[in-house]
Amino acid sequence: MSIKKKRVFILAACAALCLGLFAQGSAAEKVVKLGWVGSLTGDQAIWGQCELNTVKMMAEELNAAGGLLGAKVEVVGYDHRGDAMECVNAVRRLTSQDKVVCIIGPNASGHAIPIASVLEEMKVPDIATVATNPKVTVVDGKVKPFNFRVCFIDPYQGAVAAGFAYDVLKFTKAAVLYDVADDYSQGLTEFFIKTFTEKGGKIVAKEAFKFGDTDFRPQLSKIKAANPEIIFMPYFFKEVALSSNQARELGIKATLMGGDGWPSEILIQMAKDAVHGSYVVNHLDFDDPEVQDFKTRYTAKYKRAVELNGFLAHDAFLMFVDAAERANSLNPVAIRDALESTDIKGITGNIRINPATHNPEGKEAAIIRIMDGNYVFQQKYAP
């Protein structure tokens, strides 16, 4: 072989080797982006940070085990700052700019409801974590094609609260204090009242406030005069702490009860004595053996306790991975299609998605009682 031919052969071999190495590198560096949106500032930042921490931790663990269909999962998260329009903007950035294949979050119904049009336009599925209002996934009997959730919904949660109050606690007189500006609070109020009165109970007072209020004494004074046995307070932990403390200061001794907006260490820090003996409708028992491994891993990594939202974010991530693997695709529409037939066991219970509603069916609620600053499981309850 001539020198000239040897040079050509060597150059060709080098080129082939470089192309091979480049191809291997490209395959190793294949990335799929998973979106997250929630509150990282404001009153609910502690929940949002726990959700984002959870999703990032699970992505890291999945990547360490080989990734998803040969791709590394990269989590892209945005803070919607507690604002519905900013949540819509964040979802548009995730879908159009970041090219995510699925989104986890938000946790609040008021933020999850308005993002549907963007999801449908961009054809990217979303799995809400603790957004329980029925309108998150269904409006006027029609399912929103790209909206899913991992939690049970307000009609069920409100019915659980009312049923437990009437059937188990044997209360017949209830009052309701709710946030008139919040979809979640309005939904739970509606279904609590419906179930409680259908069972034979009486609503002796119904008082409203607006998000941002800090003085609940005028409403609580009217409630005190009605002498209820139980006060249903379907809103979030900061306002729960403020209103509970003020209720006790006014001499109200009625049992307090709330939904999944209550569980947080901040509630205990702010109102430990005021909420002692209260009941909470929750998505899981925090002491269930099924959740201990996740709690241990999370606490070891982040040096803090897991908030309620972390457990639901965990299961939302499982839903995403399961759908992608069953679809054998990282295409957003293929993932959406597979989400409709989800049937997995999560740490918050069995998750079987109804394709007609995009809601999980058959998830039992956990009744929790707050005792001496601890969330103590009482029983599973279905209305």
Give the pLDDT confidence of 138-177 residue by residue, as tens digits.
999 999 999 999 999 988 999 999 999 999 999 999 999 9
Helix (H) or strand (E) holding 203: strand 202-209
Strands 173-179 and 202-209: parallel
Q: Is the peptide bond before 106 cis (omega within 30 degrees of 0)?
A: yes
Residue 4's pLDDT band (boundaries 50, 70, 90)? very low
Residue 363's pLDDT band (boundaries 50, 70, 90)? confident
Question: Alpha helices, DSSP H only, in 65-148?
Answer: 84-92, 109-112, 116-122
Which of the two residues, 218 and 6, has the higher pLDDT score?
218
Joined together, the tokens standing for residue 28 give: 């190793």
Q: How far apart are the first and last CA of the chain?
A: 87
Joined together, the tokens standing for residue 183 give: 């979809």
CATH number corresponding to 155-282? 3.40.50.2300
Q: Is 17 exposed, middle or buried (0-12, 13-18, 19+ CB in 10 A)?
A: exposed
In three-state secondary structure terms, 275 is coil
Ordered by start, the domain boundaries in the chain are 31-152+287-363, 155-282
Question: Alpha helices, DSSP H only, in the chain?
Answer: 3-28, 45-64, 84-92, 109-112, 116-122, 154-163, 183-198, 217-226, 237-249, 265-271, 289-302, 308-327, 332-339
d(CA 38, CA 153): 19
d(CA 204, CA 154): 22
d(CA 265, CA 237): 9
Instruction: Find the range with the poorest average confidence among 16-25, 51-60, 204-213.
Output: 16-25
In three-state secondary structure terms, 321 is helix
Look up the pTM and report it: 0.81
Q: What is the pLDDT at residue 12?
A: 42
Q: Which CATH class is domain 31-152+287-363?
A: alpha beta
pLDDT value at 23 more than 50: no
One fold for 31-152+287-363 and 155-282? yes
pLDDT value at 18 more than 80: no
Q: How does pLDDT run across 227-269, given as a tens digit for each residue?
A: 999 999 999 999 999 999 999 999 999 999 999 999 988 999 9
pLDDT value at 3 more than 90: no
- Percentage of the chain beyond pLDDT 70 is 93
Residue 191's pLDDT band (boundaries 50, 70, 90)? very high
